[in-house]
A and B are shown apart, each in its own frame.
Chain A
Amino acid sequence: MATNILVVIIVTSFATYLSRFLGVVSAEKIKETSKMFRWFNCLAYSTLAALIARIVIFPSGALSEVDYLIRFIVVISSIVVYYLTKKNLVYPTLFSAIILSLFSSYL
């Protein structure tokens, strides 16, 4: 099993580094003022947004045990905290962890 885990770790890190490496290779030929760069910029933000939305709406692991409505309330109220604290990132993240833990222990 021990060698298996090591092989899995290496396969995982290779699969991950591959996209980063190919990104640098492509980036060498792309100017930051080009249309191509702006397109990739849009793709980067949209795939990130898609990933985050997927994690919240169709979670796997611990989050999947939380009711959809509670997840929704936590996300919306954390965004409100973010605006109330003048775009501080520490408060909404702490807030979300605490209220979700409380919700899942007492509801």
Chain B
Amino acid sequence: MINSKYFFKGFKSIKGIGSPAIALGASFVAIGALLKNLGFTIQESFFSTFLTYALPGSLVMAESMFLGASLINIFIAVWLVNARLYPMTVALMPLLMHENQPRWKYYLSCHFIAVSSWLIMKDNYENIEKKNRIDFWIGIGTATWSVAILSTIIGFIASDFLNKDILIGLAIVNPIYFICMMIGAMKTFQISLSVILGIILGPAFYFLSPEWCILFGGITAGTIAFLLGEKNGD
């Protein structure tokens, strides 16, 4: 059903110099502590990461609950901040699809799409034959997802020992990891321009609308980069 050779090859991506484990771990430890302070039980914290597995979404959920937002407002806020998963999925799945593979694998494993697993897959897919990519991907996804769940539980248990300065230190780890991985991914003109314009336009649109700035800024930046890239033939 799942080719274990490629599954474990993907699973091992959490080891080594490109490891996302520290960055993922640090941010989900912080989430675990945050959820405990919000009044979640350990089981609820576990299920939160198990079912959502997208950091900005969990942060928005926590923030909205803290402010006493209604369910519909929580839904909209989470959907907006996680809507980036839509273009990410569209930009990943065609690389993994193969006629000999069952479709349930795609619909189930899309749950693993998050920034770190996605960037790792984008960095490695060319080394794997197309037929085996989905099993490799499920391996990456299972590994990163497990790290996130485990770290949430550690953060929950350790929350009393995490003071403000440590939490601030934990909060910077994930953005730094993403920034470095993005720099590593800037190999073509189109992608480099997408990243640079996204960095400029995302915050610029914040002044128009804090909720919509990621989507508006991202779509504008990506479309300009795409058009300029197509014109330059890259």
Contacts and interface: CB of A to CB of B under 8 A. Distances in A.
A17 B111 contact: yes
A72 to B, nearest CB: 12
B167 interface: yes
Interface residues of A, dominant DSSP: helix
A90 to B, nearest CB: 6
A43 B87 contact: yes
A16 B75 CA distance: 9
Interface residues of B, number: 106
A31 to B, nearest CB: 6
Contacts of A53: 198-200, 202-203
Interface in A1-36: 1-2, 5-24, 26-28, 30-32, 35
Contact of B170 (A41, A60, A62, A88): A62
Contacts of B219: 43, 46-47
Contacts of B107: 21, 24
Given A43-B87, A52-B199, A5 B173 contact: no
A63 B12 CA distance: 31
Interface string B150-194: 000000000000001111111111111111111111000011011
A35 to B, nearest CB: 7
B147 interface: no
Given A42-B191, A79-B179, A54 B84 contact: no
Contacts of A11: 71, 74-75, 78
B179 A52 contact: yes
Interchain residue pairs A-B with the least CB separation, the first 9: A23-B89, A50-B202, A49-B198, A47-B218, A101-B169, A27-B93, A46-B222, A13-B51, A46-B198
